[in-house]
Structure 1
Amino acid sequence: MDGVEAFNSLPAGKLEAELLAVCAAPAWGSAVAALRPYRSRDAVLAAADAAARGLSWPDVLQGLSAHPRIGERAQGDSQEAAWSRREQSTAASSGDDDTRAALIAANHAYEDKFGHVFLIFASGRTQEEILAAARERIGNNEALEREIVAGELRKIALLRLERLLDALD
């Protein structure tokens, strides 16, 4: 059985839990689950992409609720925490103490301005790259930043969904 067949055959409760670990926005998971069965991996990813693009801002905020601050280690032994640690692994191992301190300060400044964690697709990025992005995005207005955050959440969800499908192979 390949990953898509396994995905299609997961019991509803198990699928819901898996999709919430991928993206903590229940509306996203419901939209993806509702279109089963899928014929291909591309079809699953296309549906997930469309579902992410259709999220309201309150849905995006629900998705953000499961993400730790960038540079902070996700706690726990859940799949979601493991993915977060993996996604931030390059950033966690790069940078010096000054960069880490500046990233913490940028996180707080961002949260003070926007009221939620700074979210970025961190896979493969260094702390220096993430810090530069945080500093740049602090200058954004609310509307632009919401658009960017929704896009970053979408990219993270798609990467995690690919990993879920790989794990089900």
Structure 2
Amino acid sequence: MAIPSLPEQTRTPPSPRALERFNTAPSDEVGQTLLTCLNSPRWADRIANHRPYPDIDSLLAASDEAAYDLTPGDLAQALAGETLPVLPEGAYSAAHTALSAASAAYEAKFGHAFIICLDGLSQAETLNHVLAGIRSRLANDPEEERVVAAEELRRLARGRLVAHLRGAGSRAAGHNKAAHGN
């Protein structure tokens, strides 16, 4: 699950030194790191092969562009690497039951785990956001949901990349099981 991060305006941006390390790291190391941000070799290769980036904004723009260019097969592969968001500690059992039921319906309809980016939300907002999101998105047709899921993947990848560069790993890193063992 995307662990809620601090609101956008209060987040500490990655340091120029972090970008320098990213730009100069061995390709295989960068590739593996990028795959923990988004399970798409095509996306990871595009980001890695366009190094060096002059600044963080350029790297994030490249990340967004590469995510927008995912083919349906790339998208399916990236979605396969995701897991259902985990509710925050202390969520009541009825919420777990509701999320499990909605998740089963979602996976049956769309063939992949429900994903949602929770960056910028407080712990208190997470539960309602996840449950409202999954319920509303169940009304989507498959093509409409593909577009929404692709946008959520783009946002997750961006947040995970920033988290990696900040050295925060799992803080805003989302809910990719490959990255975090979920």
User: Same fold per TM (> 0.5)?
Assistant: yes
SS at 1:102 equivalent: helix
The counterpart of 1:61, out of the listed 69, 76, 81, is 76
| CA deviation after TM superposition for structure 1 residue 70, in Å | 2.0
Higher helix share: 1
* CA RMSD between the two structures: 1.5
SS of the aligned residue for 1:93 comes to coil
- Residue in 2 that maps onto 1:112: 108
Contact kept, 8 Å, 2:23 with 2:51, in 1: the verdict is: yes
Quick one: distance in 2 between partners of 1:10 and 1:94?
40
Q: Which amino acid aligns with 2:114?
A: F
1:128 CA drift (Å): 2.3
User: Is the contact made by 1:100 and 1:127 (CA closer than 8 Å) also made in structure 2?
Assistant: no
After TM superposition, the score normalised by the length of structure 1 is 0.83
- Alpha-carbon distance between aligned partners in 1 of 2:140 and 2:94, rounded to the nearest angstrom: 24
Write out the 4+ residue segments of structure 1 that deviate beyond 3 Å after TM superposition.
none
Aligned amino acid, residue 95 of structure 2: T
For residues 63 and 154 of structure 2, the distance between their equivalents in structure 1, rounded to whole angstroms, comes to: 8
Could you tell me the TM-score, scaled by structure 2's length? 0.77
Identical columns (%): 35
Q: Deviations over 1:58-89 (max 9, x none)?
A: 11121122212222xxxxxxxxxxxxxxxxxx
Conserved 8 A contact 1:16-1:30: yes
TM-superposed CA distance for 1:95, in Å, is 3.0
Q: 1:132 to 1:47 in 2, by over 3 A?
A: same
Equivalent in the alignment of 1:137: 137
2:29 to 3, 14, 24: 14
Q: Is the 8 A contact 1:70 1:107 kept in 2?
A: no
Conserved 8 A contact 2:83-2:114: no
The CA distance in 2 between the partners of 1:49 and 1:37, in whole Å, is: 16
CA shift for structure 1 position 122: 2.8
Hey, what does 1:152 align to over in structure 2? 152
Paired positions, count: 149
User: Match of 2:167, SS?
Assistant: helix
Report the alpha carbon displacement of residue 94 of structure 1 after superposing the two structures with TM.
Answer: 5.2
AA matched with 1:97: S
